[in-house]
Amino acid sequence: MNEATHLAAEALRRVVDEATVGELSFPTSVDASRRVMKAVENPDVGLDALAKIVVAEPLLSAKVIRLANSVALNPGGNPVRDVKQAVLRVGMDPIKSLAMALVLDQLRQSQRHRRCRDLSNRLWERSIHIAALSYVLARKLTRLDADEAMFAGIVHDLGRFYLLARAADYPELLNDTQALAEVVNDLGEHAGNRVLSELDLPESVVHAVLSSRRYGGSMPPASLGDLLFIAGALSPRPDPFDELDARVVVPENRAAALGLDQSTVVDVITASGDEIYSIVLALES
């Protein structure tokens, strides 16, 4: 990493340290944002369909959970940990208003971030797969809450989405994709901690996301963090930053290394395919 790139990386770290909730309206997938906009403008969309739409947009999911757990909507202090419950608690009109404001801002910023669009879309596709896999794994292999697992899966890379959005201000990084990948991987956990904390998400979800880059070794997974790690290992969508980061060596068969037999892997991926299809269908309807 040359001196200019190093200075850009340090500047990006300072941006992360100073992030506030008001700044957390960054693009994830432009295509997904447009589909959300289309859906919330449709008067025939019901709460069940709206929940599927919300869960497929990482930042919108996080903000709906935050709204559901606000003092105004949760005076008893009983936290909501999944999108389905959050949508029921918040109701249709507030979510549509929140979605409209967020998506408009994302689309406004998308032109400035166009050079990051391919990486952002690949990261979003991986997030969708990990969310669906986490849901299926939770139901098939554990007693963990499947809806909470899906939410944790969809938001687990919000820190890296934020880094990618902010990296658009540093051409030194955009001109060197390997350096960009290294910086995003190095700052990913720190950024995730900052972003999720600013969004005031449930502690169980934040802890799971921050521990998901390291495998605790339990099989079947006993913790939400291990579940996310395994979902990431099984995802048919590779991590775009790990692919670019020469320091990362991905095992040829991560599933076998985790102690999963091939039939279990096939069953899980097949089942998650149905879940992914239902999410995509909701987005495109």
* Interval 52-70 mean pLDDT: 89
Q: Is the pLDDT of residue 136 over 70?
A: yes
CB atoms within 10 A of CB 7: 13
Residue 71 DSSP SS3: coil
Size of the chain, expressed as the number of residues it contains: 285
At residue 277, the pLDDT reads 67
At residue 236, the pLDDT reads 84
* Interval 246-250 mean pLDDT: 84
User: What CATH code is carried by the domain that includes residue 191?
Assistant: 1.10.3210.10
At residue 224, the pLDDT reads 95
At residue 21, the pLDDT reads 56
- 197, 158 in Cβ contact below 8 A? no
Taking Cα atoms as reference points, which of 208, 187, 207, 210 lies closest to residue 142?
208
- Quickly state the pLDDT bin for 279 (edges 50, 70, 90): low
* Interval 58-81 mean pLDDT: 90
171: left (phi over 0), alpha (psi -120 to 50) or beta: alpha
Q: pLDDT by residue (tens digit) across 71-128?
A: 889 888 889 999 999 999 998 888 888 887 887 777 677 666 777 888 888 999 899 8
215: left (phi over 0), alpha (psi -120 to 50) or beta: beta
Concatenated DSSP letters for 112-147? TTGGGHHHHHHHHHHHHHHHHHHHHHHHHH-SS-HH
At residue 23, the pLDDT reads 63
Distant-in-sequence, close-in-space partners of 69: CB < 8 Å, separation ≥ 6: 79, 80, 86, 200, 202
Q: Is the pLDDT of residue 29 over 70?
A: yes
The 8-class DSSP code of residue 43 comes to: T
pTM equals 0.86
- Quickly state the pLDDT bin for 253 (edges 50, 70, 90): low
Residue 66, token pair as written in the block: 């935050």
Taking Cα atoms as reference points, which of 135, 118, 131 lies closest to residue 157?
131
As a whole number, the mean pLDDT across the chain is 84
Helix axis angle for 146-155 and 83-90, nearest 10°, is: 90
Higher-confidence residue: 158 or 43?
A: 158
Question: What domain range is 209 assigned to?
Answer: 3-284
Q: How far is CA 35 from the centre of its chain?
A: 17
Q: Is the pLDDT of residue 205 over 70?
A: yes
Highest-scoring range by mean pLDDT, 18-22, 45-49, 158-162, 258-262? 158-162
At residue 80, the pLDDT reads 93
Q: pLDDT by residue (tens digit) across 212-221?
A: 988 887 778 8
Q: Is the pLDDT of residue 285 over 60?
A: no
At residue 67, the pLDDT reads 92
Helix axis angle for 224-234 and 146-155, nearest 10°, is: 60
Higher-confidence residue: 285 or 268?
A: 268
At residue 6, the pLDDT reads 83
Taking Cα atoms as reference points, which of 38, 50, 11 lies closest to residue 279?
50
Q: How many domains does the chain have?
A: 1
At residue 173, the pLDDT reads 87
- Quickly state the pLDDT bin for 210 (edges 50, 70, 90): very high
What's the CA gap between 33 and 212, in Å, rounded?
26
At residue 208, the pLDDT reads 94
